[in-house]
Amino acid sequence: MAEIAQTTVVRRASPKDAARARAPLAKPAGALTPLAELSAAQWRALSERAAEPNGYYVPEWELAVHASARGRVGASALCAWSDAADLTGLMPVISMWRAYRVPLPVWVSADPYGSLCTPLLDRDHAEEAAAALLDNARQAGAHALILRDMSLDGDAMKAFTDALRHDGLAPRVLQSHVRAALDATLDADELLREALGPKKLKELRRQRNRLAEAGAVHFESARTPVDVTAAIETFLLLEASGWKAKRGTALVQHAGDAAFIRRATSALAATGQCEIVTLRAGETPVASAIVLRHLDRAFYFKLGVDERFSKFSPGVQLTLDLTRHLCADPTVALVDSTANADHPMINPIWRGRLAIGDVLIPLRRGGVVATLAQSTLTLRKLAREPVRRAIRFIRKRQEKSS
């Protein structure tokens, strides 16, 4: 729409697991912890208590990214702990130098190979956890934090804002946009009628009937580890068959990325947090997508299509079936497209909107470092904007054709 050192499946934490994990994880206040050294059981337990869902920061996904994904290995974690040594807050981070090539004492949200970096905070202690993350960052020498791709209207942002207010500080939004989302509590057919209108739906039915000339069109969902292991290969082949491969961004084109996605989807399938959906015409897969799940939210990660069938809109056809599939699932309340702003395929279909942005968190009153970081990033954005506009124009044309 978007590193585990071993393939061991992360299971639900038990009290014994937590007790065994606490002693070796004691860290000085403010110390960063390498992601690989965190207790998967503690991390899993926090993700199940998260104030706000983020399928890209659950351990099965983020540890897989950390292990092999291109340009994303080696992140650390800023952590918050309760008096009982339970993990209550977690924010994977990298230096500002690594993120932007700017040499300032600022930590930046680590890129989880998905466009959402909302930190995990314990829902029962969200403000306290946010305050502890800020205090630990200060004690470790950071003058500011930058939360990239942050959900601006969610519980996590509220917790950070409230924690900062006690220190006489306030967050600064560096840039923001809205992206498509699906209210999965609504009736899918009614939602699609309102979003697309009868004329567009009629045209899509005509295209689907034409697609059926290659074989009966059917939608399938892979949820078990065995089925997901097979389905991910279909997805990778489809993604690498078109413009993404030409642009060099298909996952299978890079060994580290291919290893990450195979590992992450398998591990998440074992916890019921991943499905791969596929649209077939007869036995031929024409579109496939990866969907992550966390708490009551789903995340539309990536879509691959067979461009030989592009005149029948296979990506749109799959998205229509996925809409009906997720709206029929009572465990899903909201679906984040995790797509770019103004995405030409998903925006007309999913009319809900989520506000996403990059947020600078100053950690010291009157600190010049936070202001310098903000000014530097503003100038950097202005210098790059013409190039980005050209790239976005090209990508929209390519994506629309899918």
Query: Is pLDDT at 15 greater than 50 in this prediction?
Result: no
All CATH 3.40.630.30 domain ranges in the chain, comma separated: 15-178+355-394, 181-353
- Residue 78 burial (C-beta neighbours within 10 Å; 0-12, 13-18, 19+): buried
Residues 6+ apart with CB under 8 A from 119: 54, 57, 89, 90, 91, 109, 130, 133, 147, 156
Query: Is pLDDT at 14 greater than 70 in this prediction?
Result: no
Q: What's the pTM value of the predicted model, to 2 decimals?
A: 0.87
pLDDT at position 167 is: 92
CATH number of this structure's domain 181-353: 3.40.630.30
Q: Strand 172-183 to strand 334-336: parallel, antiparallel, or no bridges (unpaired)?
A: antiparallel
Q: Which residue has the higher pLDDT, 187 or 9?
A: 187
**Cα distance between residue 119 and residue 136, in whole Å:** 15
- Residue 255 burial (C-beta neighbours within 10 Å; 0-12, 13-18, 19+): exposed
- What's the pLDDT tens digit per position in 147-184? 999 999 999 999 999 999 999 999 999 999 999 999 99
Query: Is pLDDT at 21 greater than 80 in this prediction?
Result: no
pLDDT at position 217 is: 98
Q: Strand 120-121 to strand 33-34: parallel, antiparallel, or no bridges (unpaired)?
A: unpaired
- What's the pLDDT tens digit per position in 211-232? 999 999 999 999 999 999 999 9
Residue 164 bridge partners (DSSP): none
pLDDT at position 243 is: 78
Cβ(287)–Cβ(318) under 8 Å?
yes
pLDDT at position 400 is: 54
**Per-chain mean pLDDT for the chain:** 90
Query: What percent of the chain has pLDDT above 70?
Result: 88
CATH number of this structure's domain 15-178+355-394: 3.40.630.30
Q: Which residue has the higher pLDDT, 85 or 1?
A: 85
What average pLDDT does the segment 84-97 reach? Answer: 96
Least confident of 174-183, 213-222, 258-267, 375-384: 375-384
Query: Is pLDDT at 6 greater than 80 in this prediction?
Result: no
pLDDT-based confidence at residue 294 (cuts at 50, 70, 90): very high
What average pLDDT does the segment 194-213 reach? Answer: 97
pLDDT at position 398 is: 59
Instruction: Name the residue with tokens 């930058």.
Output: 146
Bin 400: left if φ > 0, else alpha if -120 < ψ < 50, else beta.
alpha
pLDDT-based confidence at residue 127 (cuts at 50, 70, 90): very high
pLDDT at position 248 is: 83
What average pLDDT does the segment 301-327 reach? Answer: 97
